[in-house]
Structure formats: C-alpha cells, structure tokens
Structure 1
Amino acid sequence: MGESPSSSGRQRADARRNRDRLVAAASAVIAEAGAGASLEEIARRAGVGSATLHRHFPRRAELLEAVLRDRVRALRDRAEDLLAASSAGAALVGWLRDVVAHAATVRGLGPALTGYESDPGFSPHTTIREAAQKLLARAHREGSVESSVTVDDVLQLANGIALATESLPNPAQRADTLVALVAGGLLHPPSSRKPLDSTIE
C-alpha cells in the first residue's frame, strides 16, 4: 500500500528541515574546528543521527559545499538588502564586515574542497564579486568612496584581513576591529565628499 500524498509531503518537509539543520550546525562547528570538524558533533548539534547526516551528505565534501553555498547566498542577499541603505559608504563597509567574518571563519573550507567536482553553476567568487561591485558602484556615485577604488581593491583588502586573523582565537571579532580601522582610509569624511556623476555604472 503506497504512501498518501500528505504523508509523502510531510516526509519531504521533514527531510528539508533536517538538511537545513545539518548545514546550520556544520557552519557553526566548522567555524570552531575547521573543515575537518567531527561529523558526529555536527549531527549531534543538528539533533539528528549520523545515519541521517550520511543520507543527506554521503561525502564530507558535499556537506562542506552546502555550507559554503549557504554562506555565500546569505552574503549575496545581504548585499541586495543594503542597496536600499541611506548611506552607500556605510553599507559597503557593513557588508565588508560580513564578508571578512565569513572568510575568517571558514577555517580551510576552500582547500578541503580542492578536487571536488561541485555544481558548475555555482561560483562563490563570482557571486561575491558581483555583490561587491553593486555596493561599490553606489558608493562611487554617492562620492563616499574614491572613483579610483576598484572591486579588486575592496575584495583583496577583505581577503588580507581574513588571512591575518583566521588563526586567532576569535577571528571574526578581530577581523571586525581591523575592518573598522581601515574604513577610515576607504571612506571620505562627509565634509570632503565630492558629488559624482549620477550615471549608472
């Protein structure tokens, strides 16, 4: 006797919730212990058994990619929200803080995925670069960031801070402090802002 449509729907919903809990738990554990984090600890924090974890993610790399994809999408969505902020310069710096906190806590996620054939339609670098470009272009038009500052400048700055802090006891907090320090060099004070051409870049 087959399953009823309602029963099948509940099972799919339960499976999605379990998967979401596993990705969230993995993100937290990886931030603490690195890409080699215990799968048993991840399952425990997600409130599921090891069998459930392995059913959703047969290989460690699949779980790591899901964590990376989830984080990058969150950064993309955050950038979209910040495009409506009243201050483009502050929005850019706020988003950079999120990017650096992400980069400082991935703890070897990139190298752990070396050689893993992921979804070719998913490019973390491209997604983050496009989000950064939108925020930077708005800051250029506002005049809060020099027009000579490029998206590569901004992302290399974020990457440098992340690399400098990733091995520290509290990398996200230290990285946030450094972003706050360099923001003074990135942004013009209000009195020195120069109105720029309003042409969309």
Structure 2
Amino acid sequence: MSRPLEDKDLPMGLVFLERMKPLKGIEKAEAFLKWGLEAYKDPKNHEWMTNISPYLSIVSYSSSPPHPSITFKFTVQPIHDNGLGNLHGGCASTIFDVCTSQPLHLISKPGYWQYTGVSRTLNVTYLRPVPVGSVVHIKCEVLHAGRNLCALRGEMRAVTEDGREGPLLVVCEHGKANTDPPAEKL
C-alpha cells in the first residue's frame, strides 16, 4: 500500500503552486516574488532563480483586457555579470521566462493557466547592453491565452535617474503550453 505524498516528497515549486491556489490575480505574482525572497534566505533551497528574485519587484499591473500586464523593476547585480560588465544573456532569458509568465496569474482560474504552464519557445533579442548597476523595467503582457497555448511578450527598458523609462534594451516573445489538470466538475 502506498502512502500519500507529503510536501517533503514533492518539488518545492509544486508545493508552492498548490499553496497559491486560494490566491487571486496579482496576489499570486506577489506571492511568487515573496517565495523567491524566502528561498534566497535559505541556503538549502537555492535554485536557478535564487540570485534573481531578490532584485525583482512589481511596479504596476493591469488586469484589463485585451492584454493583461505586469511591469517589474530589476536592478542588475555583479552576480548577473557576463564577464564584460553587462547583464548575462542567459540571465536576461531567465528573467523573461519568469516575468512574462506572471501576467497569466491575472487571468488564471482552475484548469486555465493556474500553474502558468511550461515554455515551448523563448525568443530573446538583445538590442543594447545592460550594464551592472542598471535599473530596468520589464513590462510583460499576455498577447493571447487559449485553453492549451498562450503567447506572451516582454520588454526590458532602462530607467533613468529621475525614474522615467529610457531606451528599449531587450525584447522577448514567450510561447507556453498549459499543464493544468482539468478543473473539477461542479
């Protein structure tokens, strides 16, 4: 006879997604960032995003159709360096992978993007270098979300010293497949 799975038997991310189920909209994205900060504090929980999450915060969001969006602020740290004093391309890709997925929380419901799916494509175009120490805004929006597939977009822009958005630095197109189990029938 098999025993039921416990939290310690599951990957940390699945445990977190299950605990997020009662949350709605932007609360889920905020909880995700908080979870990243907690993982950063615990050396046993370090993973790919651990050195990115502490430097991300939500600037604004809109749940309004047709393109729900979240804008994040990120400060490039020396640990994100490509060896030439700029944001590493792989780090930028990871940031977009995570950030572009977050607006799905604004439209999710049981069986519909509640787990934010898995990446099918992630196309990142680097337009300008992003120096260490830079503060950037990352605007992410849902272009389309069907039952099984979605198209997301992200833009990374410099932030000037007076807080205004500056030039476009990096852009991203992100395609995902929904992995939610079917919603329970009522």
Whose strand fraction is larger, Structure 1's or Structure 2's? 2
Which of the two has higher C-alpha Rg?
1
**Shorter-chain TM band:** 0.3 to 0.5
What is the TM-score when the length of structure 2 is the normalising length?
A: 0.32
What is the TM-score when the length of structure 1 is the normalising length?
A: 0.30
Whose helix fraction is larger, Structure 1's or Structure 2's? 1
